[in-house]
Amino acid sequence: MDPEAVRKYSALHAKPDGLVLQYGTAGFRTKAERLDHVMFRMGLLAVLRSKQTKSTIGVMVTASHNPEEDNGVKLVDPLGEMLAPSWEEHATCLANAEERDVWRVLMDISEKAAVNLQQEAFVVIGRDTRPSSERLSQSVIDGVTVLGGQFHDYGLLTTPQLHYMVYCRNSSGRYGEATVDGYYQKLSTAFVELTKQAFCGGNEYRSLKVDCANGVGALKLREMEPYFSQGLSVQLFNDGTKGKLNHLCGADFVKSHQRPPQGMEMKSSERCCSFDGDADRIVYYYSDTDGHFHLIDGDKIATLISSFLKELLVEIGESLNIGVVQTAYANGSSTRYLEEVMKVPVYCTKTGVKHLHHKAQEFDVGVYFEANGHGTVLFSKAAEMKIKQLAKELEDKKRKAAQMLANVIDLFNQAAGDAISDMLVIEAILALKGLTVQEWDALYTDLPNRQLKVKVADRQVISTTDAERQAVTPPGLQEAINDLVKKYKLSRAFVRPSGTEDVVRVYAEADSQESADSLAHEVSLAVFQLAGGVGERPHPGF
């Protein structure tokens, strides 16, 4: 660790004057050309975090579902989780330090976090397919090496694959082999085992159209296909050979516009799904015989998966508890169905994977999904050991149920929500239950809903409580929302400052689309008036 070398290299990755960035919900994100210094400094920080935890740390270069011109970076903690909150603060401090202060801030962090600087450091790096990602990941490597850290650059990876690599390396190979081949082997073996039990009437169950958002998911799914092709054949669209990343395609586009991605050839009743740009989100959809588009979002995915898991848990007769974690964006019908029909306890957390993940860790089997398609199932270590033991000991039907659960455990990337894992689990469940996509969709009917954005001078004037479902400030806003909600049937509305964009988000649902649209509009007006709206007043019809 040589302060002069750090100063010299830092100057080669200089921070643009006056630029201030925040480590947000999923790391730093902005236009790629503003990120060189952040990447270098996150290389430095990853070394400190690795020394402190005496473990391998991951650095992923991606801006997920955002436009191709953007980029971003996030750090992955030892067990494949998101970076600890106190280190998010260190990350923000370091990213915003003036050039002359970089070394001092590094020393401050080391002191505050009791980092042993003599300790060795190891960092693994992955990146998505953005044109800027290769250069930016080189800046991360510069940061790692100047502080004397060792590294392995995996090159192109999906975000969940990088989480997997970090987890494998820190569990001395017990979880799996830290290579893409190890990842493919682990997931596909579990998938093939699980689907062996399925009775498939015909090939229609076994083929799936996948919109890869022109992102890294396409490359990785193509590499992986030979491993699972006995059980499923995938047809890739928006595979990056011509279109632009996330442009008119991908999970975010499909979910927010409620329409099919460009470039996908959809025939009626065919099962289709979309990944986002770094393959940690997935939504399903189909078009019916009348040509109407039907979206199957994260809530319905959670419902399918949790009902399947609950049946298996009942079958093996062990009292392992299961819980479902959602956010305020979960459709009211999904929450009602889970609680009242399936009798599964449901919990609500703040938006952002780390909050859901944290809550899901409280259960033996914690299912978490955001409506937008981020999610997974976590099994506690004790539940995993118990189930794997039962898969050897039990007899007949019970044994089969335990074996299936054991396969599901291996199939979910326990380090992070993963579009590929989720897709394989969903496909296995549909095949095992002989469910068509329409039958799955018919589990419950979504309440009509609308999301809007409002521009305000300072979105931080809005603070919330009760997992973002109630506004605490500005004064009077929550009362206004309550009064508006009373005007509609089956209605609900909330507002929150976005963690990724300079806007306030408004969500409303009600018994009809007209009511949901009108409620969302009225709530937007209340935000505009009470929370310092700027620019044009929200107008009906958005």
> Which residues sit in the known binding site for Mg(2+)?
64, 276, 278, 280
- Residue 353's binding partner among ligand 16G, Mg ion, none (Cβ under 5 to 8 angstroms by kind) is ligand 16G
- Residue 276's binding partner among ligand 16G, Mg ion, none (Cβ under 5 to 8 angstroms by kind) is Mg ion
The b-or-e profile of 482-492 (16+ CB within 10 A means b, else e) is: eebbeebeebb
Which span (53-61, 107-115, 252-260, 274-282) binds Mg ion, by CB under 5 A?
A: 274-282
Which lies closer to ligand 16G via its Cβ, residue 161 or residue 372? 372
The binder of Mg ion chosen from 88, 128, 211, 280 (CB under 5 A): 280
| From 50, 64, 133, 306, active-site residue | 64
Please provide residue 3's backbone torsions phi and psi, each rounded to the nearest 5 degrees. -55, -35
In whole angstroms, how close is the CB of 26 to ligand 16G at the nearest point? 4
Q: Which amino acid is at 250?
A: G
Name which of 149, 151, 87 is nearest 120 in CA terms. 149
Residue 129 interacts with Mg ion (CB under 5 A): yes or no:
no
Q: Which amino acid is at 298?
A: G
Cα 400 from Cα 456, distance rounded (Å): 56
The binder of Mg ion chosen from 68, 252, 276, 517 (CB under 5 A): 276
- Residue 352's binding partner among Mg ion, ligand 16G, none (Cβ under 5 to 8 angstroms by kind) is ligand 16G
3-state helix, strand, coil in the chain (%, to 5): 45, 20, 35
Q: Applying CB under 6 A, which residues contact ligand 16G?
A: 25-26, 351-353, 370, 372, 374, 498-501, 505
- Report the sign of the C-alpha dihedral through residues 244, 245, 248, 250, in that order: positive
Which lies closer to Mg ion via its Cβ, residue 236 or residue 416? 416
Which lies closer to Mg ion via its Cβ, residue 276 or residue 446? 276
User: What string of DSSP letters covers 346-395?
Assistant: EEEE-SSHHHHHHHHTTSSEEEEE-TTS-EEEEE-HHHHHHHHHHHHH--
In whole angstroms, how close is the CB of 327 to Mg ion at the nearest point? 16
Which residues face 76 on adjacent strands?
58, 82
The binder of Mg ion chosen from 50, 52, 64, 331 (CB under 5 A): 64
In whole angstroms, how close is the CB of 280 to Mg ion at the nearest point? 4
Annotated catalytic residue 256: no
Cα 180 from Cα 195, distance rounded (Å): 22
Which span (209-217, 240-248, 278-286, 362-370) binds Mg ion, by CB under 5 A?
A: 278-286
What is the token pair recorded at 305?
Answer: 């998966």
Evaluate whether 91 touches 72 at the Cβ level (below 8 Å).
no
Name which of 434, 379, 374 is nearest 407 in CA terms. 379
Place of tokens 């947000």: 24
| Residues making up the binding site | 64, 276, 278, 280, 370-372, 496-500, 505
- DSSP summary character for residue 2: -
Which lies closer to Mg ion via its Cβ, residue 176 or residue 215? 215
Which lies closer to Mg ion via its Cβ, residue 121 or residue 273? 273
Residues that bind Mg ion (CB under 5 A): 64, 276, 278, 280
Hey, which residues are catalytic here? 64
